[in-house]
């Protein structure tokens, strides 16, 4: 069982078998959480570095907890307090971390493709924790797992992604994973926030949320970045709320048992109303818990190794 | 050519032998629990529970039963290259503290699997005692670990395969050259 790769840069190049490998691997890691000792010694002696060029609390903390639950040593580097502000290049930073024997480097960067540059230059396993508008693969995998866990299948599920699809790396990773696993994916949002030719990825486009929501088994609400309003990509926050906020009234138009997801952090009262966020339909907290288990599975499946031989012990 | 170490008949006798010894050693204990190590140890453990229940002539006897996977606790995980072992569920649906646990596996060889299994159990709590039952002890230990209950001893440097009718054609234990 393997992902057959050193790095996890995105979900675009993973196939159905890879996604199934991840889905099959997560449950034993999640079962660790119910024990008084929530750790296993799997990655003892390995070093995991989180290198974040953008602020993040939940993703970095999730990776840190995942690595610590597998007994790895974890070092967190915030770029604002690092040599990067003194002008060090990305590759030099990476090579320095590798010289310090980092086994995994988890990177977040505002430029798409940055993790790929590190992966091509270093032997450490590189995990993309979000690059520009490109991908956020572990978020895509944890969303996939949460749907699989709750709905017991992915094939044939109707998934609706709502909001800023254009700037969302979560949306792209979701689309790659879900369409390859046989789900029917649709997006809904203002025309200015839907990427052109997205239909080419096998995705239906809706501009009317009230219509789109009727068929959905799962609604994944994306965070609206309020600075987009200053870029004139939608007329006003008030109008966005009127047309695209997931409210109790809108949710009532969906099938019973519709599942509501949000990758966080939420803007309550903007893309999602508070009563929906706290409703029985929402699995937002389960997404956070699953995020740790999924990241543990990814660290396990990518685990860098030097020698390949058949080991046996009874 | 593979050699048959246990056939269907002697396989069953080995299970009965282990079960009788477990009852004998734990006869005054109400705290007995049995935990099987994936994969075949789980099947052997279920057989032992069934045999103990039969021998005790009590259908009321409910021995707490758990399963454990040692993959995350292996000491040779670097040796697997990128092809990582599949992890099975570890399910211990009872409080292990104050229990006398009989840990069950199919084959005891280097002792490394049992070492890892002990680590897993200790992360669940502090049992009163842990005993070890194995269907086959093939010797050549690399760690100082011995079984309390052994179905059959067979010193062998050849790999040993345990087949059970639950997953294979029949109950038997064979050597593989």
Is A86 part of the contact surface with chain B (CB cutoff 8 Å)? no
Q: For residues A19-36, give the mean pLDDT.
A: 94
Instruction: Identify all chain B residues contacting A27, using CB atoms and an 8 Å cutoff.
Output: 89
pLDDT reported for residue A310: 41
> Tokens 């990655």 sit at which residue?
A43
Q: What are A76-90's pLDDT values in tens digits?
A: 998 876 666 677 889
pLDDT reported for residue B59: 67
Strands B172-176 and A73-78 turn out to be unpaired
In angstroms, what separates the C-alpha of A115 from chain B's closest C-alpha? 20
Is A308 part of the contact surface with chain B (CB cutoff 8 Å)? yes
Q: For residues B52-72, give the mean pLDDT.
A: 88
Give the confidence band of B29 by pLDDT, cuts at 50, 70, 90: confident
Distance CA B171, CA A254 (A): 54
**Mean pLDDT for chain A?**
92
pLDDT reported for residue A113: 96
Q: For residues A18-22, give the mean pLDDT.
A: 97
Q: What are A90-122's pLDDT values in tens digits?
A: 999 999 999 999 999 999 999 999 999 999 999
Q: For residues B65-84, give the mean pLDDT.
A: 88
Q: What are A29-69's pLDDT values in tens digits?
A: 999 998 889 999 999 999 999 999 998 899 999 999 999 99
* pLDDT at B28 > cutoff 90: no
pLDDT reported for residue A307: 37
Q: Is B166 buried (19+), middle (13-18) or exposed (0-12) by CB count in 10 A? A: exposed
* pLDDT at A311 > cutoff 90: no
Q: For residues B138-143, give the mean pLDDT.
A: 96
In angstroms, what separates the C-alpha of A235 from chain B's closest C-alpha? 50
Instruction: Identify all chain A residues contacting B126, using CB atoms and an 8 Å cutoff.
Output: none
What letters, b where the CB count within 10 A reaches 16 and e where it falls short, cover A132-157?
ebbbbbbbbbbbbbbbbbebeebeeb
Give the confidence band of B84 by pLDDT, cuts at 50, 70, 90: confident
């Amino acid at each position: 069982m393997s992902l057959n790769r050193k790095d996890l840069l995105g979900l675009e190049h993973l196939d159905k078998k890879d996604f199934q490998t991840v889905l099959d691997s997560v449950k034993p890691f999640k079962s660790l959480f119910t024990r008084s000792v929530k750790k296993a010694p799997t990655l003892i002696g390995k070093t995991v570095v989180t290198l974040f060029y953008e602020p993040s609390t939940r993703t970095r903390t999730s990776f840190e907890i995942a690595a610590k639950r597998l007994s790895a040593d974890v070092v967190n580097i915030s770029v604002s307090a690092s040599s990067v502000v003194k002008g060090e290049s990305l590759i030099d930073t990476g090579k320095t971390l590798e010289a310090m024997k980092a086994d995994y480097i988890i990177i977040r960067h505002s430029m798409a493709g940055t993790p790929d540059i590190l992966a091509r230059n270093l032997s450490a396993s590189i995990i993309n924790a979000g690059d520009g508008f490109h991908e956020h693969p572990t978020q895509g995998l944890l969303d996939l797992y949460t749907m699989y866990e709750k709905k017991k299948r992915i094939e044939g599920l109707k998934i609706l992604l709502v909001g800023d699809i254009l700037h969302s790396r979560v949306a792209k990773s979701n689309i790659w994973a879900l369409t390859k696993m046989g789900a029917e994916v649709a997006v809904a949002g203002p025309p200015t926030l839907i990427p052109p030719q997205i239909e080419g990825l096998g995705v239906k486009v809706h501009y009317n949320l009230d219509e789109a929501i009727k068929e959905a088994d799962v609604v994944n609400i994306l965070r609206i970045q309020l600075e987009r309003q200053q870029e004139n990509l939608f007329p006003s926050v008030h109008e966005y709320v009127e047309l695209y906020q997931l409210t109790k009234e809108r949710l009532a138009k969906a099938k019973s048992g519709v599942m509501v997801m949000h990758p966080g952090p939420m803007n309550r009262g903007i893309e999602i109303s508070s009563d929906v966020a706290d409703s029985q339909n929402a699995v937002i907290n389960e997404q956070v818990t699953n995020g740790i288990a999924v990241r543990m599975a990814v660290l396990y499946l990518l685990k860098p190794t030097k020698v390949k031989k058949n080991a046996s012990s009874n | 050519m593979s050699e048959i170490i246990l056939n269907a008949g002697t396989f069953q006798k080995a299970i009965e032998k282990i079960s009788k010894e477990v009852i004998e050693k734990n006869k005054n204990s109400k705290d007995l629990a049995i935990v099987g190590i994936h994969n075949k140890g789980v099947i052997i453990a279920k057989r032992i529970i069934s045999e103990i229940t039969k021998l005790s002539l009590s259908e009321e006897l409910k021995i707490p039963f758990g399963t454990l996977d040692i993959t995350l606790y292996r000491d040779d995980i670097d040796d697997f290259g990128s092809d990582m072992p599949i992890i099975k569920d570890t399910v211990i649906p009872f409080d292990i503290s104050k229990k006398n646990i009989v840990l069950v596996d199919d084959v005891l060889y280097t002792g490394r699997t049992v070492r890892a299994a002990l680590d897993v159990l200790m992360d669940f709590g502090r049992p009163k005692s842990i005993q070890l039952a194995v269907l086959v002890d093939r010797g050549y230990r690399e760690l100082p670990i011995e079984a309390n209950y052994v179905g059959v001893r067979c010193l062998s440097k050849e790999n040993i395969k345990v087949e059970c009718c639950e997953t294979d054609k029949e109950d038997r234990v064979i050597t593989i050259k």
